[in-house]
């Protein structure tokens, strides 16, 4: 229980941590805390996907399509490929009106 209380205090603060270079993005971050025991339930809303560091937990969260007006592809490798993948996904979900751009902020200084 102590860990749960600690993360209740920490998670909202983490949502505000952002390098000033990314201020132009004006992004919103959503946080939802799930008790550890809930992740262990087979019918949990928690899903997993592979990542370079091993399985990564995530939640599927619905929101009205009009909430999304722009997607900025973050710095990193294969930016054009990632942009094309996002455009394909938006087209698939009939969200073709959303502007997709590639960030001009360098990945490393």
Domain segments of the chain: what residues? 1-61, 63-109
pLDDT at residue 12, as a whole number: 72
Say whether 36 sits in a helix, a strand or coil. helix
The answer to whether residues 87 and 99 touch, using CB atoms and an 8 Å cutoff, is no
Helix (H) or strand (E) holding 72: strand 70-73
Q: Quick one: CA torsion of 59, 96, 26, 12, rounded to 10 degrees? A: -10
Per-residue tens of pLDDT for the chain, all 109 residues: 455 556 677 777 777 777 777 676 677 777 777 666 666 666 667 788 999 999 888 888 888 888 888 898 988 889 999 999 999 999 999 998 999 999 887 766 5
The pTM for the full model equals 0.58
């Amino acid at each position: 229980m102590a860990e749960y209380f600690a993360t209740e205090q920490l998670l909202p603060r983490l949502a505000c941590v952002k390098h000033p270079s990314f201020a132009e993005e004006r992004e919103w971050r959503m946080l939802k805390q799930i008790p550890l025991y809930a992740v262990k339930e087979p019918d949990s809303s928690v899903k997993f996907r592979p990542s370079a560091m091993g399985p990564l937990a995530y939640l599927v969260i619905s929101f009205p399509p009009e909430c999304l007006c722009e997607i900025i592809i973050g710095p990193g490798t294969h930016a054009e490929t990632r942009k094309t993948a996002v455009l394909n996904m938006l087209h698939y979900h009939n969200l073709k009106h959303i502007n997709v751009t590639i960030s001009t902020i360098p990945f490393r200084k």
